[in-house]
């Protein structure tokens, strides 16, 4: 006698196994991302900023970083002065904004990106991000920083002063 339920049972078992493996992989990935961020933080606190950056970049090469790891990498690169690191930090801001759920987190990423645009003297982009910080009203500190940065941008817009004869 042939058991008609055998193929369905086998498929159900395979599906359950695949689901469990996917869940375990997701959990491991999330834990690994958190572990990498913690390890990178420990390295940076021990004075090995370059090692922390390399660790986070390596983790990013294996998959997208979570928001805390993205934020840590951004902060570690903050002292960079060459355009390549600024471009990388702008990319991190875009990624951070895509992950941000809370208004204060969105405000933080807009402020970071707006400040980078000020450094690059990109007036239109700086205005867009800094004005978004003001609209979000998520943090008094963010608002104050955005207002200071906007004053810098406003000085760019001033026409040259004409000398009187």
Q: How many domains would you assign to the chain?
A: 2
A 10 A CB-CB count for 39 gives: 15
pTM higher than the cut 0.75: no
Structural domain harbouring 73: 29-80
Same domain, yes or no: 104 and 147: yes
Tokens 């906007």, residue located: 150
What are 40-59's pLDDT values in tens digits?
999 999 999 999 999 999 99
Instruction: Place 135 in a pLDDT band, splitting at 50, 70 and 90.
Output: very high
Averaged over 155-159, what is the pLDDT?
72
Q: How many residues can be counted in the chain?
A: 165
Distance CA 57, CA 70 (A): 10
My answer on whether 70 and 106 are in the same domain is: no
């Amino acid at each position: 006698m042939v058991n008609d339920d055998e193929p369905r049972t086998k498929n159900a078992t395979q599906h359950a196994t695949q689901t469990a493996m996917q869940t375990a992989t997701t959990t491991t990935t999330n834990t690994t991302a958190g572990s990498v961020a913690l390890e990178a933080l420990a390295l940076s606190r021990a004075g090995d900023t370059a090692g922390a950056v390399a660790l986070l970049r390596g983790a990013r090469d294996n998959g997208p970083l979570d928001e805390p790891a993205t934020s840590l990498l951004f902060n570690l690169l903050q002292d960079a002065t060459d355009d390549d690191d600024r471009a990388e930090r702008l990319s991190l801001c875009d990624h951070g904004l895509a992950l941000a759920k809370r208004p204060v987190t969105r405000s933080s990423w807009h402020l970071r990106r707006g400040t980078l645009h000020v450094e690059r003297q990109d007036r239109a982009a700086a205005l867009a991000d800094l004005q978004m910080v003001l609209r979000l009203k998520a943090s008094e500190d963010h608002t104050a920083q955005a207002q200071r940065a906007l004053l810098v941008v406003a000085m760019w817009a001033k026409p040259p002063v004409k000398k009187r004869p």
